[in-house]
Structure 1
Amino acid sequence: MNFACGTPCIWAPLAKSSITAVTNLPFVNGAPIKQLAQNVQILDKNGQLVGTLNTPYADVTLDGTKVSTNTPEASLTIDAGSHDIYTNFISDLNMETTYELGLRGTADSILKLGPFGDVEIKGIPLDVKTSLAGLQGLSNIKFLAYVDNQVTMDPPRINSRTSVNIYNPSQLTLNIGDLKLEAGRDYDPQNWVGNAVVKNLRLVPGDNNVVTVLSVDSGNNPAAQQFLADLNVMDVLLKMWASSTATSNPALNTGLSTLRSSVLLPTFLMSITPPAFSDIWNIKVLPTTVNDGLVEVTTVFNNPFLVDMSVEGVATQDEGSFTEYPSRAELYVGGTTYQNLLFPDDFGYTLKSTESKTVTFKMKLRRNIITPENAAQAVTAWINDAADGSLEMEIYWYPRIRLAGQDTFTFPLWAYSPSVFYPDHKLILKTGSDFPLIKDWFNKEFGLNGTPVAPVPLPSPVVPVPSPSPSAVPSPSPSPSPSPSPSPPPSPSPVTPSPSPVVSPPAVAPAA
């Protein structure tokens, strides 16, 4: 059902369904039904009229005496005298484990009768009852991962984006649109702390991984201040309920007035999530690298947010407060790091909520951080160190990421040093016999007198990029406490390890 199609949807939501029925028509090999249409009344559990649904002809699938069809989308029309019945119907579907509804009316069919052609039969009586699994109050909501924090002053709010799983136990797919729930330590409005908002919510049966914004009142609200203080030191059970403004559909809001749900928020909003990338990367120096400085890199990327995401380039300094340096990979040789591989500005990929993907992309050799005086020495050191088929590597990466249903980007700092994903070891860059060819590009760039390098065999083969690392790391540990300033949160110290793949503001004690 679609409740988010504007004013017409208030008393005429759009509905479509999958139906399987057993026929009793007198045909030896089953009913030769080609198409079906419906003209039915929907009845509630008490036999009262909820609304009427008229669907056009749709093709059917036959299996003996069983007939299955997917009805096209049509309006479920609610007459004025049925408004209260309809909102109670929504409320019951929302709260109950199973719900029995009735279908009464007629069906039209087109029969395929061989040499006699297609024959239309109209007005076949229909009067059945069927059971649907209900939503059970959407009581099974689980916290997945922290995304980011934003602070506003008008109104004074701390807005924490997180991903959660909403389990839908019903057989219903519901297009709700933007959903705003009231939030507090209990269901008493006196203990209200803010709102939980999900944009463009479309619930399907089973698991729904979505982004929610927990907007906490950071002004003169004692309940909110206590909530923020507690979340700094312990897990907190957040209660949520629907108000008269929960959605853009007032009829749906009336039906959702009984909604009561909750989610357990971990301390500091910290949880265990997959690392954003593998600790094994491969590099290939191409025959064209000498001219354009582009090398080919391959690794496995994972989804640390556990909600559908897409990387859409690299953040600029205007977008993120941590992008004072370009996104880069640094090769680590003999205790020295060299900033010599740049992520392309348009680098991107997409991942489903739990997906991992092997990605091959181009990175640019960087010239301006190496002077002509030390270029030859540095490149020779890289080649010598890679003689065993690998180098140690660090990255500082500032991706521009869009999460499903979100209108704005998030800009996590996916830095390796200090590591947020692999705290006990550096990344490994696997090299092949082509790696010494990078010397030709540096010789050309710096005008050095060097003999062009030919590929040489290495003593050990290149190890393929493995499947995604099964290890998991803590998600960001933001402080949900109020901030005294609306300015963006400060960048963390580059030498202080962070437990999180994204940058979060420091913990601040709540206002008195």
Structure 2
Amino acid sequence: APISSVAINSMEMDFTCETCVWAPTAISSITADTKLPFANGAPIKQLAQNVQILDKNGQLVGTLNTPYANVTLDGSKVSTNTPRAPLVVADGSHDIYTAFVRDLNMETTYQLGLRGTADSILGLGPFGDIEIKGIPLDVKTSMAGLQGLKNIKYMALIDFQQAPPYTMVTTSVNIYNPSQLTLNIGDMSMNAGQDGFTSEVQVGVAILKNLRLVPGDNKIVSLLTLSTQTEAGNKFAIDIMTKEVTLNMWSTNNSTSNPALNAGLSSLRTGLLLPAGMWTDTPYAYGDMWSLKVLPSTVNDGLVEVTGTFNNPFMIDMKVEGIARPDEGEAIQYPSYMALYKARGYSNFLFPDDFSYSVQSGQSVSVTFKAPLRINGLTQSRVSAYVDELVAATATGSSPFDIWLYPRVRLGAYPNLMFPIWGPGSFYPGKMTITTGPDFPSIRDWFVKNAIPDTPVVVPAQPPPSPSPSPVAPVTPPSPTPEVPSPSPSPSPVIPSPVIPSPVASPTVSTAA
């Protein structure tokens, strides 16, 4: 046959699209050995395929038709990367297809068949290009399988949160894929247990978001939703704090959004060894030697230049995308700040809201950024003594130093932001140092310029005392004059004189001067 053998260098299958249940998208890199009768090898410029994929028993799995793609030549061998195309599973081949996926997942090496035709564009020099269709193809080839994804290693603890009745444990893990397959799976969940693979020993659910397995190492985020109100979950929570524990994981009928893939993964059983306390010797989030420079522009814009070294404590590609705010987590303090030990009552320098950097797993990066100064309520009467403390603290060219940093962190392909707490309680308590130069005393200019004016104390005027009212002498009514009756031959009635009432005293009104 003109095509005597085909080697599959790599193959990618996408199970995430809505139409991918029985037609996963496939991309492959292949090398074909041709036996076309040309003296200087096969002058093929492009190649297309119209093939059937057969399982290890020769049964039809599906068909794959790819358009023309450019090739590279090495003697009689032709290599090409096929464009994206659906692997269409026939209606009668569903069970064969799910068994094919299961075998690719579980076996060390899998042999499959390719049967059909290839079309080619040949470049014949002065005769131009010609198309040859229907080159027969009927070969068997083998490819490495995933071996049940047995090689999973724990790397680091990322986050630990109580969310009764659950505990959310976020970690980074490395899944080693020994195959030539790239599987785009999407979100995947598996039951998790400590002693076996049954519902009786289940402690929670392990979730892998945006899972895309490539050949070799796959460093990803794993979220374990642990139920501590069950006997098995409570036992696991206690055991993991005191000893190594193997977390067993197994797939279910709902592990992914693709029911055909779920059927193919039905036999997946794997385990993850967790260290006691989930502690590993990972790098600190940042280095312990920083530097600070006061710039000529600092007096006007209040920005100093800070340089620090940042590491990757999570062992997975990491991006810091700004500073977290309180509405993004209960434990978050805002703003994130830096402080000299000699002036701990104040956060002297702030991390800017757009603070950002990227650092790959196992690497470090030096980051230089503009840090805003903070007046922090200092008034003009206090600022001089405060700046004197700062300058005195750095008189030797360095000072003890600490930071409180609440970054917004994105890890690998994990879609959710993480909000770790990086502070002196976790890293370098009392051991950080920041170096300064002869420019540092000029920091005084900005603080003096921006200190809050002292507010004079205004004592309200007191009104003068009101005068006391003058005493008023009482008025005594005159005594009535006694009437002496005139002698009369006949006694007359005595008519008493009217009683004159005593005058009433007028009220006294005091008028304030």
Answer yes or no: is the 8 Å Cα contact 2:305–2:371 preserved in 1. Answer: yes
Answer yes or no: is the 8 Å Cα contact 2:324–2:334 preserved in 1. Answer: no
Counterpart amino acid of residue 360 in structure 1: T
**Structure 1 residue ranges without an equivalent (≥5):** 449-512
CA distance in 1, matches of 2:275, 2:206: 16
Counterpart amino acid of residue 271 in structure 2: S
By how many angstroms is 1:5 displaced? 3.2
Counterpart of 1:377?
385
CA distance in 2, matches of 1:97, 1:392: 56
- Tell me the TM-score normalised to structure 1 length: 0.82
Matched, 1:268 2:277: yes
Answer yes or no: is the 8 Å Cα contact 1:183–1:241 preserved in 2. Answer: yes
CA distance in 2, matches of 1:79, 1:336: 71
User: Once superposed, which parts of structure 1, at least 4 consecutive aligned residues long, lie more than 6 Å away?
Assistant: none
By how many angstroms is 1:308 displaced? 2.5
Aligned with residue 203 of structure 2, among 193, 199, 202: 193
Counterpart of 2:394?
386
In terms of mean alpha carbon deviation, does 379-388 or 6-15 score higher? 379-388
By how many angstroms is 1:382 displaced? 3.0
**Structure 1 residues 16, 287: CA separation in 2 closer, same or farther (over 3 Å shift)?**
same
Matched, 1:415 2:423: yes
Aligned with residue 414 of structure 2, among 406, 419, 429: 406
> Structure 1, residues 274-325: CA drift from partner, whole Å, max 9, x if none?
1111111121211110001101111221111122222222122222223345
Answer yes or no: is the 8 Å Cα contact 2:40–2:75 preserved in 1. Answer: yes
SS of the aligned residue for 2:100 comes to helix
Alignment of 1:48-127 (within 5 A): 48-127=59-138
Aligned with residue 216 of structure 2, among 196, 206, 209: 206
CA distance in 2, matches of 1:371, 1:231: 53
In terms of mean alpha carbon deviation, does 382-391 or 68-77 score higher? 382-391
- Tell me the TM-score normalised to structure 2 length: 0.82
CA distance in 1, matches of 2:162, 2:389: 47
CA distance in 1, matches of 2:403, 2:18: 51
Alignment of 1:240-319 (within 5 A): 240-319=249-328
Identical positions, percent = 58
By how many angstroms is 1:228 displaced? 1.4
Answer yes or no: is the 8 Å Cα contact 1:3–1:252 preserved in 2. Answer: no
Answer yes or no: is the 8 Å Cα contact 2:50–2:118 preserved in 1. Answer: yes
> Structure 1, residues 137-163: CA drift from partner, whole Å, max 9, x if none?
00011111112233444xx32221111
> Structure 1, residues 180-236: CA drift from partner, whole Å, max 9, x if none?
1111121123211111110110000111111111112233x2211211121122121
Aligned with residue 33 of structure 2, among 22, 29, 41: 22
CA distance in 1, matches of 2:211, 2:268: 16
By how many angstroms is 1:403 displaced? 2.4
Counterpart of 2:184?
175
CA distance in 2, matches of 1:3, 1:261: 22
Answer yes or no: is the 8 Å Cα contact 1:308–1:403 preserved in 2. Answer: yes
CA distance in 2, matches of 1:38, 1:27: 21
Answer yes or no: is the 8 Å Cα contact 1:275–1:421 preserved in 2. Answer: yes
Counterpart of 2:158?
147
Matched, 1:436 2:445: no
Counterpart amino acid of residue 432 in structure 1: G
Counterpart amino acid of residue 310 in structure 2: F
Counterpart of 2:364?
356
Counterpart of 1:365?
373
Answer yes or no: is the 8 Å Cα contact 1:165–1:208 preserved in 2. Answer: yes
Counterpart amino acid of residue 131 in structure 1: S
Counterpart of 1:12?
23
Answer yes or no: is the 8 Å Cα contact 1:2–1:9 preserved in 2. Answer: no
SS of the aligned residue for 1:388 comes to coil
CA distance in 2, matches of 1:166, 1:383: 52
Counterpart amino acid of residue 281 in structure 2: I
**Structure 1 residues 76, 447: CA separation in 2 closer, same or farther (over 3 Å shift)?**
closer
* Higher alpha-carbon Rg: 2
Counterpart of 2:50?
39
Answer yes or no: is the 8 Å Cα contact 1:90–1:256 preserved in 2. Answer: yes
Answer yes or no: is the 8 Å Cα contact 2:251–2:266 preserved in 1. Answer: yes
By how many angstroms is 1:406 displaced? 3.3
CA distance in 1, matches of 2:379, 2:151: 59
SS of the aligned residue for 1:111 comes to strand
Aligned length: 441
SS of the aligned residue for 1:438 comes to helix
**Structure 1 residues 385, 152: CA separation in 2 closer, same or farther (over 3 Å shift)?**
closer
By how many angstroms is 1:338 displaced? 4.1
CA distance in 2, matches of 1:321, 1:149: 13
**Structure 2 residue ranges without an equivalent (≥5):** 1-11, 454-513
Answer yes or no: is the 8 Å Cα contact 2:13–2:181 preserved in 1. Answer: no
CA distance in 2, matches of 1:279, 1:436: 23
SS of the aligned residue for 1:282 comes to strand
By how many angstroms is 1:273 displaced? 1.4
Aligned with residue 130 of structure 1, among 131, 138, 141: 141
Counterpart amino acid of residue 397 in structure 2: G
Matched, 1:346 2:340: no
Q: Over the residues paired in the alignment, what is the CA RMSD in angstroms?
A: 1.9
Answer yes or no: is the 8 Å Cα contact 1:3–1:10 preserved in 2. Answer: no
SS of the aligned residue for 2:200 comes to helix
**Structure 1 residues 248, 436: CA separation in 2 closer, same or farther (over 3 Å shift)?**
same
By how many angstroms is 1:104 displaced? 1.1
CA distance in 2, matches of 1:32, 1:285: 67
SS of the aligned residue for 2:328 comes to coil
CA distance in 2, matches of 1:15, 1:336: 60
By how many angstroms is 1:30 displaced? 2.2
By how many angstroms is 1:164 displaced? 0.8
CA distance in 2, matches of 1:389, 1:371: 27
Answer yes or no: is the 8 Å Cα contact 1:339–1:369 preserved in 2. Answer: no
Counterpart amino acid of residue 206 in structure 2: A
In terms of mean alpha carbon deviation, does 286-295 or 57-66 score higher? 57-66
By how many angstroms is 1:330 displaced? 0.4
Answer yes or no: is the 8 Å Cα contact 1:51–1:79 preserved in 2. Answer: yes
